[in-house]
Amino acid sequence: MSTFNAPKGTYDLLPPDSAKFLAVREAIAAPLRNSGYGYVETPGFENVELFARGVGESTDIVTKEMYTLTTKGGDELALRPEGTASVLRAALEANLHKTGNLPVKLWYSGSYYRYERPQKGRYRHFSQVGAEAIGAEDPLLDAELIILADQAYRSLGLREFRILLNSLGDKECRPVYRTALQDFLRGLDLDEDTRRRVDINPLRVLDDKRPDVQKQLTGAPVLRDYLCDACKAYHEEVRELLTAAGVAFEDDVKLVRGLDYYTRTTFEFVHDGLGSQSAVGGGGRYDGLSEMIGGPALPSVGWALGVDRTVLALEAEGIELELPPTTEVFAVPLGEEARQVLFTTVTELRRAGVATDFAYGGKGLKNAMKSANRSGARYAIVAGERDLAEGVVQLKDLESGEQNPVPLAEVVTTLLEKRA
């Protein structure tokens, strides 16, 4: 205990669980690295206006959930609530779209911040791994991204997730639908807050979880019936590509998503073992975002997968990741001379690439062996005065308990051979 605790809605990643988080991040990144996506890293905060314009003035994220701050210099900044606007901003700023090599494919991994009501699976600080393909309108790209997310989840052993798919139309057909939906919603018995939402973001009303609202929504116009021919054809192609790739999905005409920049393809990955915070990832096309933040027309598509929720999904399915032990060899010196000698051996082992740790702090044999076992190491090297006098160390297999003397000069090669 100290005087301080982690702030509300946050938690610390500590060993051994933290290794799981790293492995999940790596598993999500691996298919991206393998598919032409380059790593991008942007600052943890941005000009607040970037998110207001990009994510949308009327979204919960911008109106309620952003951590904003005014710097001593008077800049209005916000901790990033998501990655897409930042990544696009960075690509535009560096003129990556002008190299004649579109789409610009980028992936990222990092911390995001939303002032939400904390509960299991919903935190104020969380981690995403994301991917964005910027500057191409091609249904193959939408399909590629969904296939890669599916591959990532499957590589972790996850099976109980579903892919929800929808099209939100484009700047031709969505406004027509929006008006039709507003006409319908204005005829309902809704509270003042919701009526205001009807004016500024009517599609979000479809997401309202309250049963009395849901009941009234039966018979609401459905976007699918308003899609223009181009959007319909695009969506159909994405669906066919996924089917051809053997990736199962469910059409969800109600899927809206909580960010305003989406057009056409939208999708969410939901896990059935997670309760109310079931979305483990989500994304879609955002053909108008670049123009919304002052850039040229750059149709793009991407997703972000939540690392925290993916870890919870693994736990829900009872999946133990096979993580290599962090320590392979543990050195146990008995006496001051052995401390010096074994420390040299440890350094040599580490330089040879063997993960090695040491019983620091002058522990007795019993305690030191306890540390060795706890470290997960397969081997311990133990040496006392008598061993050193004979030029050997004791090499102990912690699994079988077998122990043999090995000449000090041969310890490194012997261990390298054993682990091969």
204 touches ligand HAM by CB under 6 A: no
113 touches ligand HAM by CB under 6 A: no
282 touches ligand HAM by CB under 6 A: yes
84 touches ligand HAM by CB under 6 A: yes
123 touches ligand HAM by CB under 6 A: yes
In the complex, residue closest to ligand HAM by CB = 306
Q: Number of residues interacting with ligand HAM: please give it, by CB under 6 A.
A: 26
Instruction: With contacts defined by CB under 6 A, name the span among 26-34, 244-252, 277-285, 370-378 that binds ligand HAM.
Output: 277-285
Answer for which of 60, 116, 208, 237 binds ligand HAM (CB under 6 A) is 116
410 touches ligand HAM by CB under 6 A: no
Choice between 258 and 295, CB closer to ligand HAM:
258
| Interface mask toward ligand HAM for 289-318; x: CB under 6 A | -------------xxx-x-xx---------
106 touches ligand HAM by CB under 6 A: no
3-class SS string, the chain: CCCCCCCCCCCCCCCCHHHHHHHHHHHHHHHHHCCCCEECCCCCEEEHHHHHHHCCCCCHHHHCCCCEEECCCCCEEEECCCCHHHHHHHHHHCCHHHCCCCCEEEEEEEEEECCCCCECCECCEEEEEEEEEECCCCHHHHHHHHHHHHHHHHHCCCCCEEEEEEECCCCCCHHHHHHHHHHHHHCCCCCHHHHHHHHHCHHHHCCCCCHHHHHHCCCCCCHHHHCCHHHHHHHHHHHHHHHHCCCCCEECCCCCCCCCCCEEEEEEEEECCCCCCCEEEEEEECCCHHHHCCCCCCCEEEEEEEHHHHHHHHHHCCCCCCCCCCCCEEEEECCHHHHHHHHHHHHHHHHCCCCEEECCCCCCHHHHHHHHHHCCCCEEEEECHHHHHCCEEEEEECCCCCEEEEEHHHHHHHHHHHHC
Residues 217-236 that bind ligand HAM (CB under 6 A): none
287 touches ligand HAM by CB under 6 A: no
We find the least distance from the C-beta atom of residue 258 to ligand HAM, in angstroms, to be 6
Answer for which of 58, 67, 122, 355 binds ligand HAM (CB under 6 A) is 122
Binding site residues, ligand HAM, CB under 6 A: 82-84, 114, 116, 122-123, 126, 128, 130, 132, 258-259, 279-284, 286, 302-304, 306, 308-309
